[in-house]
Every structure is written in structure tokens, then in C-alpha cells.
Amino acid sequence: MNHPAHWTLSHVSARHARTRPGRPAVICEERRTTYAELHRAGNQVAHALRAAGVGVGSRVAYLGRECEHYYLTILACAKAGAVIVPVNWRLTPAEVEHILTDAGAELLFVDEEFRATADEVLGSEGLQGLRAVVRLDGTGADGRPDRGAGLRAWCAQAPDTDLAPPTGPDDAVLQIYTSGTTGLPKGVVLAHRTFFTLPQATLDTGADPDEGIDWRQDDVSLISLPGFGIAGIGWFLHGFCAGATNVVMPMYSAQEAVRLIEREKVTITFVAPAMLQMMLDERGVSARTFASMRKIAYGAAPISEGLLHRSLQIFGCQLAQIYASTEAGSVAVCLPPSAHRVGSVLLRAAGRACPGNEIKVIDRDGQILAPGEIGQVCIRTPAHMLGYHNRPQATAETLVEGWLHMGDAGYLDEDGYLFLCDRINDTIIVAGQNIYPAEVEKQLSEHPAVADAAVVGVPDARWGEAVHAAVVLRPGSRASPRQLLLFLRGRIADYKIPVAYHLLEALPRNPSGKILRRAVREQLRERGSAPAGAAHTPATTATAAAAAASAPASAGRS
């Protein structure tokens, strides 16, 4: 499909530099970068990328927290025709190495905080194609650490003139890694057009922007979710395309979020429900604190009536729920502000298709089901991914004739509202952070005492779900929950480690040998989810809090 030539990040950057040069594009830790400054610096880094041998379609990785330099590298890649690959900074070195190798990264940007991780993986044989590693940070003229000094030094000799756009709206610009039920990370490739389709469809259809997710050029948008996932980077890029000011949090804390909202007069943000709860629980907050807010989008879990009531009272603005996925690229389904009424049955719904999108629910044979009948949820959206990087079979299984198979079970009501029942792919979501059971089970099975393992999500009042492991030990072997927890440390990211371990005699399986996770969850429910020695240590409590602070999911999954 042909899309307007101006639907590229490089074109938008140049336009904003002309029409709103002095408008702050990014505010981060007291540093303010205008649209003109971001555009010129993006040009300079793009020229440096080309001088380093990075060409059209080359993969450039970024390992670091969110700041103006992260967004600068994204724009630089767009201007040079390269594809940015953000790396989850919470992953272990082995996980980081896999992503860099799978992507075929030719250049890596890394900030000082994660330099040790980068150094550990750089000797890998799979990274022979890596042309350069650019340290973002350095030392300023006053001898103090200076964020961005390394990046400025690296591109100091490059010009800051505009580059001829080497790519168009349907070319790749972003590659985000998300796992499937196999636990193997897949690179979801997104095009420039992804970040333009929803606003344009809203205009074309005459839909009421207040009843959906909209970004305005006078908005001040709080970026509180990490940029290695579609929720964080997608929220920024939509706001950037609109010309909004983006207030960035390198790490979420409720106290800092409240301070920034009040000081910067934030008008719009996207959070997980648990993050809303944290802000409301901050001491001294009132309706006056959030007087600037016009809309809050949330995702990853429905909102409880109690939290909705408090939010409407204290935030005093519109609330909208988002359902999407990394593969969808942008917001796919939205529960509009008008549905957010205490007592409304629609609070259990994910929402209706956003302008320009369609939903269908199908059975195992691919036949469309009638309203009320449960099946697999499929979404058709012009923002959808180009595909999984170097995985044509997986792409063909997920994207079928333009329809994304979301991996979720649900049904539509007579009015087109989508209700989700379960996740077909068994993904666990802890405060918006996706966790894939097969990956955790694989690591557990490597413990010498473990004969079998199943990992499931157990309902949790605060985080939505908690990760529990059902474990079968080898005859004559012993392993305590704490020993299992310590075994997993360093093998997988902390937020993926189960918070409790249940010792069972056997796991329920179907005739083909597949674990019946629904039956496992039912067993744990019957036991009252009381583990045979829970591993609820201060470390695991901190893990849950960290998961809430870095939830990347755009809603149901990512």
C-alpha cells in the first residue's frame, strides 16, 4: 500500500525544526532539548553513522535508559535509513548477546550504566559484524560525568546539514524484541507509517478524538514506560509526530511522576493501572496536583472500580484503556472515556476497534464467530508490523492476509466491544511486564534437582498477576524455594523469576505431552496458591515493584 511520502520520522523532524524550532521536544532530568536542536543533532549523528559504514537497513542497537540521547539516536537512524534496535537494559548479558546477534547489529550505542554488560558480550563470535561501539557518556570540561559527552565527541566532526531521505513510509525504522510462547525473542520490525496511521484515520473517519487516544501539538506528554518496548517508544513517537513536548523519566517512580506532572503541567500520559495506584497513594496529592491533566491512557490490565472511582475524583480527567501488541505497532483497541463509569459492565471490556482498525474473533478453522462466542482475537490495522526479523514462517503464522492473530481468547458483544477471556499463548503479565513461561521453565529445568516445571500467572491484587512455579523434583533430590530462586538469578532477568514455588508430585499434561497450564493454575487455586515454602524475600518484592516501574506492554501484551 502506498502511503504519503511525508509519513517518515525524518520528514517530521525537519518540519518541526522549521515550524516550532523553540518548542521543547524532550525534557529529561532538567535538560531541555528543542525541536530545532534535536533535528540538528539528529542530522549530525546520521552523518556520523554513514561515515561509520552504517547504511540503509543496517541495524543499530541501543543499550541504555530513556533520555534525549536515546530519541536522538532513533531520529539519526531514521535519517540515515538504518533501523534502531532498543535493547531491554534489564536483561542478562546472555539475553543481550542473543538480541544483538539475531539482529545482526552493526553498531551499538551504550550508556555508562550498562557498559559492563556490553563489555561482557562484545567478544561473542556472533557479533563479528559489529562495526563500532559508541559510549554515550563521558567527562565534561569541568571533570564531572557528562551524559552525552561521548556521543557528542564521536560525531563532533560530522556536519549537521539535512540528509536526502533514503527511505519511505513503508520502510523499516524500528525493531523491538518480544518473545513468543517458545520463549525465543523475535524482532518485530515496524515501519515509519506505524506512527501516522491512527491520527490520520481519526481525521479521515471524523471520529471524536476525545473518545480515543489522541496527541495534540500543545500537549505535554509524560513518558513513564521504558523505551525498549512499544508502549514507551510508541507513546513518544506518536507525541513527537504531533509536535508535543515529551517529559521523559529514565526510571519510573510515583513520587517523581507526581512532581513532574505538577511542575511541567503534563496533559497526557500512558501507564499501567498499578502505576496509577502508586501515584494516588503518594502523600499530599489532591485534585489540584493533577489540574493540568486532560487524559490518562492505561493498559496491561482492566481498571478496578475502586481505582476508577479514586482516579476520576483525584486525577479529574478522561481515562482510556488501550489493548494492542508490539506486532500491532500502535493502539488497536480502545475503551473510550465515556465507558469509564462506576458500575458500567463495559469496564470489563478491552474496548472497540480504533479508527481504521477492525476486529474479528475466529474458531480453530478460521471461521468468524458470532457475538458472544469465544475464539481467537484477530486485529487488522494499517499500523501492523512488517514482520519478524528473518522469521518468515513465524510472520506467516501471526500475520495472515493482513490480520494479526493476537494469541488471546475473547469475544465481541453486539456493539463491537471486545471482551478478553484468557491468553492463548499463556503470557503472564505482571504490572504490564510480559513474562513467557517457556523461557522460565527452560532455566528451571537445568537445575539438577528439577525433573519437571510449569510456570503460570496467579491473580495478584496489586500487580495483576504474580509468577508462580510448579516444580516436580527428581526422586531422591531436594531443593528449597530459596535455592531455586538463587539458581535463576543471573540466568534470566530478575522480573521473570517466580516469587513462589509449589512442589508437586506430577504436572498435568495432555496426550501429546504439553503442559496444561490452565490445570496447573486450577490446582494452585484449589491449594489457595499457598506454595510449599514461598520465596517471598525482600528481593522478590523489589522485583515486583521494578516490574511495575518498567512495564512495556502497550496493553494486553507486547
Specify the pLDDT at position 364: 86
The Cα 28–Cα 371 span in angstroms is 47
Domain formed by 1-192, architecture: 3-Layer(aba) Sandwich (3.40)
Specify the pLDDT at position 546: 35
Residue 146's pLDDT band (boundaries 50, 70, 90)? confident
Q: Within a 13 Å sphere around the CA of 228, how many CA atoms are in the beta-carbon half?
A: 21
Residue 532's pLDDT band (boundaries 50, 70, 90)? low
Specify the pLDDT at position 274: 83
CATH superfamily assigned to domain 428-549? ANL, C-terminal domain (3.30.300.30)
Average pLDDT of 237-245? 97
Specify the pLDDT at position 409: 87
Specify the pLDDT at position 517: 83
Residue 279's pLDDT band (boundaries 50, 70, 90)? very high
Contact 136, 146 (CB under 8 A): no
DSSP 133-180: EEE--EE-TTSSEETTHHHHHHTTTS----------TTSEEEEEEEE-
Specify the pLDDT at position 234: 96
Average pLDDT of 507-521? 75
Specify the pLDDT at position 401: 95
Specify the pLDDT at position 500: 92
Specify the pLDDT at position 145: 78
Residue 513's pLDDT band (boundaries 50, 70, 90)? low
Residue 221's pLDDT band (boundaries 50, 70, 90)? very high
pLDDT at 463 over 90: no
Specify the pLDDT at position 183: 56
Average pLDDT of 139-163? 88
pLDDT tens digits along 389-416 = 999 999 999 999 999 999 888 999 999 9
Distance of CA 449 to the CA centre of its chain: 35
pLDDT at 349 over 60: yes
Domain with CATH 3.40.50.12780 in the chain: 1-192
Average pLDDT of 293-297? 97
Domain with CATH 3.30.300.30 in the chain: 428-549
Which range among 125-134, 162-171, 448-457 shows the weakest confidence by mean pLDDT?
125-134
Q: What is the pTM of this model?
A: 0.83
Average pLDDT of 525-531? 66
The Cα 399–Cα 409 span in angstroms is 17
Q: Which residue is listed with cell 502506498? A: 2
CB atoms within 10 A of CB 307: 17
What is the length of the chain? Answer: 558
Mean pLDDT of the chain: 89
The Cα 68–Cα 468 span in angstroms is 37
Helix then strand count (H, E) for the chain reads 16, 28
Specify the pLDDT at position 173: 98
